[in-house]
């Protein structure tokens, strides 16, 4: 069996993309040597590359998002390649880049321990700046996160330079900063459609410069090319974040979950709201999906679940309205997917939902 698989891979290397497509049966179950979604393509023959960033350091409560890419990859084998909106998507090829360096993995483990120590000390009422040991550890956490950001930026740049369309899969929601900064170097004006339960607009939450809760604060502060941030599904936020968003004026549009429901219960429909959200975005759009923007029944094991949120089909419809608007999709990230404990019998559910959203995002990007 092993020899056969190796031989099969060898022959795939010599075949053109058209020959691989001709010989591949998209209706069959995935084989052991297949890539993500059971696809027969390597990076070379894939139009879309998804960079795995299995990183979580500044986690507030539940952890496990570092396992997100592996859970999504495993669940992806059960996703039918025939997508209702993008029937031909699989032929474009999707490659999962699992090259996240071991050195960064090691830094993450250390930084995560330090971060937990710091969070515990803060909860105990300690002022970190008065504690030399913890201050040093805080600096090391920030430094490790910065190195992750640099790797994400370099790795995304590498794929874009090869003519690929690229997305990221996390990891916690701190991971896309480097990629969004790269987009700022490539495009003079773009918007971000951000699905999340949280605004993620905190300035250095718990002292961590690159906290998952600070991602869009960091984006707005360091990427002036982002002319519009449209946040959807927001339902857990602090006054400081709300005021910060308000001070950004037209640059930030927040669709609070409560307001979305109020408008729908009062007679408006989701399609009208989606059209309005999309209209607030410029011609080029980056998409950032925190899985906790969805109803927690769709992501029960994510780090910070909040009741309420979008239905699965509401998210898909929003992505489709965006796609049909003709705006150019320049990249995406999908974050905070965490597999559950298999002993409960539904450990692969979060990965299953995540794999389907990722496929839809790939279609939105490249379909
Ligand atoms: Mn988030």
Q: Which of 74-78, 337-341, 343-347 has the lowest mean pLDDT?
A: 343-347
- The CA distance from 338 to 346, in Å, is 12
**Total residues found in the chain within this entry:** 367
What's the 310 CA to ligand 1 centre distance in angstroms? 14
Q: How far apart are the CA of 199 and the centre of ligand 1, in A?
A: 7
**For residue 12, what pLDDT band results from cuts at 50, 70 and 90?**
low
Q: What is the Å distance from ligand 1's center to 212 Cα?
A: 6
Separation of CA 66 and ligand 1 centre (Å) = 14
Contact between residue 344 and residue 301 where contact means Cβ atoms under 8 Å apart = no
pLDDT tier at 2, thresholds 50, 70, 90: very low
CA 211 to centroid of ligand 1, rounded, Å: 10
Q: How far apart are the CA of 213 and the centre of ligand 1, in A?
A: 6
Chain mean position to CA 183: 15
- Six-digit token string for 231: 């946040």
Is the N-terminal amide bond of 171 cis, ω within 30° of 0?
Answer: yes
Distance from the CA of 76 to the center of ligand 1, in angstroms? 23
Between the CA of 304 and the centroid of ligand 1 the distance, in Å, is 9
The residue among 88 and 340 whose pLDDT is bigger is 88
Strand, helix or coil for residue 295: coil
Burial 98-120 (b: 16+ CB within 10 A, else e): eebeeebeebbeebbebbeebbe
CA of 158 to the centre of ligand 1 (A): 26
Say how far residue 202 (Cα) sits from the centre of its chain.
Answer: 19
pTM of the entire predicted model: 0.95
Distance in Å, CA 193 to ligand 1 centroid: 12
> What is the rounded distance in angstroms from the CA atom of residue 71 to the CA atom of residue 337?
8
Which one-letter DSSP state was computed for residue 164? -
**pLDDT band at residue 4 using 50, 70 and 90 as cut-offs:** very low
pLDDT tens-digit readout, 180-217: 999 999 999 999 999 999 999 999 998 999 999 999 99
Expressed in angstroms and rounded, the spacing between residue 18 Cα and the centre of ligand 1 is: 39
How much is the pLDDT for 107? 97
Give residue-wise pLDDT tens across range 23-68: 999 999 888 788 999 999 999 999 999 999 999 998 766 779 999 9
From ligand 1's centre to the CA of 192, what distance in Å?
A: 13
| Sheet of strand 226-234, all strands in order from the earlier edge strand to the far edge | 94-97, 48-53, 165-170, 328-335, 284-290, 190-195, 226-234, 252-256
For each of the domains in the chain, give its residue range(s) and CATH number, in order of start.
Answer: 55-366 (3.40.800.10)
Ligand 1 centre to CA of 45 (Å) is 32
CA of 306 to the centre of ligand 1 (A): 12
Ligand 1 mean position to 67 CA, how many Å?
A: 17
Measured in Å, residue 87 CA sits from the centre of ligand 1 at 30
Cα(135) to centroid(ligand 1), Å = 26
Cα of 196 from ligand 1 centre, angstroms: 5
Query: Are 238 and 197 contacting, i.e. CB atoms less than 8 angstroms apart?
Result: no
Give me ligand 1 centre to Cα 15, in Å. 41
Tell me the CA–centroid distance for residue 197 and ligand 1, in Å. Answer: 7
pLDDT at position 9, please? 52
275 CA to centre of ligand 1 in angstroms: 23
Q: How far is the CA of 117 from the centre of ligand 1 (A)?
A: 22
Ligand 1 centroid–CA 52 distance in Å is: 17
| Spacing, Cα 166 to ligand 1 middle (Å) | 20
Report the separation in Å between the CA atom of 91 and the middle of ligand 1, taken as the mean of its atom positions.
31
336 CA from centroid of ligand 1 (Å): 7
Q: pLDDT for 302-314, tens place per residue?
A: 989 999 999 999 9
Q: What is the pLDDT of residue 1?
A: 32
């Amino acid at each position: 069996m092993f020899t056969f698989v190796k031989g099969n891979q060898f022959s795939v290397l010599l075949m053109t993309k058209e020959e691989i497509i001709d010989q591949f049966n998209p209706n069959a179950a995935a084989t052991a040597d297949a890539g993500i979604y059971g696809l027969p393509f390597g990076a070379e023959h894939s139009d879309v590359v998804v960079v795995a960033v299995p990183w979580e350091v500044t986690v507030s409560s539940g952890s496990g998002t570092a396992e997100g890419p592996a859970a999504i990859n495993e669940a992806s084998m059960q996703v039918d390649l025939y997508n209702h909106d993008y029937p031909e998507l699989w032929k474009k090829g999707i490659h999962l880049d699992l090259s996240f360096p071991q050195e960064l993995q090691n830094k993450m483990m250390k930084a995560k321990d330090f971060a937990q120590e710091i969070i515990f000390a803060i909860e105990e009422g300690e002022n970190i700046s008065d504690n030399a040991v913890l201050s040093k550890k805080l600096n090391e956490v920030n430094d490790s996160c910065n190195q992750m950001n640099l790797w994400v930026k370099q790795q995304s740049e590498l794929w874009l330079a090869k003519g690929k369309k690229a997305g990221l899969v996390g990891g916690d929601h701190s991971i896309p900063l480097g990629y969004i900064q790269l987009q700022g170097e490539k495009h003079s004006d773009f918007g971000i459609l951000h699905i999340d339960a949280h605004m993620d607009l905190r300035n250095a939450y718990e002292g961590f410069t690159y906290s998952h809760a600070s991602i869009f604060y960091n984006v707005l502060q360091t990427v002036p090319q982002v002319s519009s941030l449209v946040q959807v599904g927001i339902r857990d936020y602090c006054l400081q974040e709300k005021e910060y968003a308000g001070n950004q004026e037209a640059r930030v549009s927040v669709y609070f979950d409560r307001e979305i429901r109020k408008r729908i219960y009062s007679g408006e429909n989701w399609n009208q709201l989606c059209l309005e959200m999309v209209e607030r975005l410029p011609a080029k759009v980056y998409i950032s999906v925190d899985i906790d923007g969805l109803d927690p029944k769709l992501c029960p094991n994510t780090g910070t679940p909040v009741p309420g949120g979008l239905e699965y089909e509401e998210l898909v419809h929003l992505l489709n309205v965006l796609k049909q608007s003709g705006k150019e999709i320049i990249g995406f990230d999908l974050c905070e997917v965490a597999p559950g404990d298999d002993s409960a019998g539904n450990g692969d559910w979060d990965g299953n939902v995540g794999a389907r959203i990722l496929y839809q995002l790939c279609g939105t990007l490249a379909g």
